[in-house]
């Protein structure tokens, strides 16, 4: 069951690209743009992640942290992050448990989906953008929503 706008974002504890444990609750007090993507270093995921990279300072200026999640290993995330100079956290969701918790699946729930959530400083989901093919839309639409949130 997918989480919906107005609901509390489920907390999680996952390993980042540097091997550090990260929880969503670590970011309370600031907005979070949480994006689930299928796989490191694939064309669509690279395009999406680089679009987040290119607008990262705009997200930071809006008071938000960007976090990417896929089922890839921390080592894969480290290589992907280094190769494309991604300045934000990538989390390893081995077994896609957090993805399932959020309902970020596609194609009858069988394949990893491409879903982005805007979460406010209190941990409430404010916006959900779900599109497998509109890679840059994840950045453009979530940035619009983020900028409309009250500070």
C-alpha distance from residue 72 to each of 23, 39, 68 (Å): 17, 7, 11
**What is the residue whose two structure tokens read 């290119």?**
54
Contact 53, 84 (CB under 8 A): yes
Annotated catalytic residue within 9, 24, 34, 45: 45
Q: Quote the CA–CA distance of 64 and 55 in Å, as a whole number.
A: 11
Strand arrangement of the beta sheet that strand 31-36 belongs to: 21-23, 13-16, 89-92, 64-70, 31-36, 115-119, 125-130
Contact 18, 78 (CB under 8 A): yes
Q: Is 45 a catalytic residue?
A: yes
Active-site residues: which are they?
45
């Amino acid at each position: 069951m997918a989480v919906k706008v107005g609901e509390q974002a489920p907390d999680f504890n996952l390993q980042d690209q540097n091997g550090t444990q990260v929880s969503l609750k670590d970011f309370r007090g600031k907005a979070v743009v949480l994006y689930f993507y299928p796989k490191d270093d694939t064309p669509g995921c690279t395009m999406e992640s680089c679009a987040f990279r290119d607008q990262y300072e705009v997200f930071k200026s809006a008071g938000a942290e960007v976090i990417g999640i896929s089922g890839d290993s921390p080592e894969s995330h480290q290589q992907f992050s280094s190769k494309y100079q991604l300045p934000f956290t990538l989390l390893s969701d081995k077994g896609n448990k957090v993805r399932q918790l959020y309902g970020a699946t596609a194609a009858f729930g069988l394949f990893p989906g491409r879903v982005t959530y805007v979460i406010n400083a209190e941990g409430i989901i404010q916006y959900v953008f779900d599109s497998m093919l509109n890679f840059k839309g994840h950045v453009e639409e979530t940035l619009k929503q983020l900028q409309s949130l009250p500070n």
